[in-house]
Structure formats: structure tokens, C-alpha cells
């Protein structure tokens, strides 16, 4: 059983309350429950975190270096600003999938650039909260492939 970290950036604690026309009505608690259920079905465990503080996300990435097999990350606004999160992700050796609930490419131009994408093995954007499940599935597939090699 591998450990997959699911990390969430700023304002995602307001999911379901903030701009539901963009982000939907599901809460982060709903997303976590769905992620836990799927991970269990796939034979994995997750650590699910959210923070509005960049340093906490970095600390969790560092923690994942020690005991995590993969990372699914929705860096939210830090996507476009954080070289520090990119640097932390660059120290992680397992698969990394970047998630965005909205289609950032249909939004303001400043949202089109992602520092995190420079490290991510894949990016899922615009599929709503279902993107988290797709990210977990992809990490699980990548981990299975690594074990075969």
C-alpha cells in the first residue's frame, strides 16, 4: 500500500462557498471523502492537506519525500507565483500530478502560466473536482508501472 499526498493551496478551504459558478458546490470535505474512497479501492492510502500558507505546502512536499510515493497537488494561486513550491517538488522523486478544478486556460491570462507544470508529470484542468480522482488514478497507474520496471 503506497501513500499518496493530496495537497491543496490557498482558498480551497472555501470550496463550495467561493464562486460556485466556477468551482462548483462540492466542499473540500466532499473531495477528501471521494479521494479516500478511491485510494482505498486502488489499494493506496492518502494524506490530504490544505493550507493558505505556502511554507506548509512546502513542508508537506518535504514530508512526502520521506514517506510518500506520489503527489496530487492543486496549488491554486500558488501555481502562478511559487518558485519555492516548484523547487520543493523538484526534490520529490515520485509522480506528481497537477490539478485545477477550473479550466485555467479559459480564464485571465495570468492564470495561463504554471511554475508547477515544470515538474508535474501531468496536468488536469477544467474537469471540476473529478480531476482529483483522475489524478489519483494516474498516480496509481504510474506507481504500478514503476514496480514492473
**Cα end-to-end span (Å), the chain:** 18
Q: Is 100 a catalytic residue?
A: yes
Instruction: Measure Cα distances from 114 to 2, 85, 110 in Å.
Output: 27, 11, 9
Catalytic residue among 5, 23, 44, 132: 23
- Chain centroid offset of residue 89 CA: 12
Place of cell 479516500: 36
Tell me whether residue 49 is annotated as binding.
no
Place of cell 501531468: 122
Tell me whether residue 87 is annotated as binding.
yes
Q: What is d(CA 5, CA 69) in angstroms, rounded to the nearest whole number? A: 8
Tell me whether residue 53 is annotated as binding.
no
Tell me whether residue 111 is annotated as binding.
yes
Catalytic residue among 100, 105, 113, 132: 100
Could you list the residues known to form a binding site, using ranges.
74, 80, 87, 101-102, 111
Could you list the residues known to form a binding site for substrate, using ranges.
74, 80, 87, 101-102, 111
Active-site positions?
A: 23, 100
Amino acid at each position: 500500500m503506497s501513500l499518496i499526498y493530496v495537497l491543496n493551496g490557498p482558498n480551497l478551504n472555501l470550496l463550495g462557498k467561493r464562486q460556485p459558478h466556477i468551482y462548483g458546490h462540492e466542499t473540500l470535505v466532499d473531495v477528501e471523502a471521494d479521494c479516500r474512497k478511491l485510494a482505498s479501492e486502488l489499494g493506496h492510502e492518502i494524506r490530504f492537506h490544505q493550507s493558505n500558507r505556502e511554507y506548509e505546502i512546502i513542508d508537506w512536499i518535504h514530508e512526502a519525500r520521506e514517506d510518500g510515493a506520489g503527489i496530487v497537488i492543486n496549488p491554486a494561486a500558488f501555481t502562478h507565483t511559487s518558485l519555492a513550491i516548484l523547487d520543493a517538488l523538484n526534490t520529490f522523486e515520485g509522480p506528481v500530478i497537477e490539478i485545477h478544478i477550473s479550466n485555467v486556460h479559459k480564464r485571465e491570462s495570468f492564470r495561463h502560466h504554471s511554475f508547477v507544470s515544470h515538474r508535474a508529470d501531468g496536468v488536469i484542468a477544467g474537469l471540476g473536482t473529478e480531476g482529483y480522482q483522475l489524478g489519483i488514478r494516474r498516480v496509481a497507474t504510474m506507481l504500478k508501472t514503476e514496480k514492473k520496471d
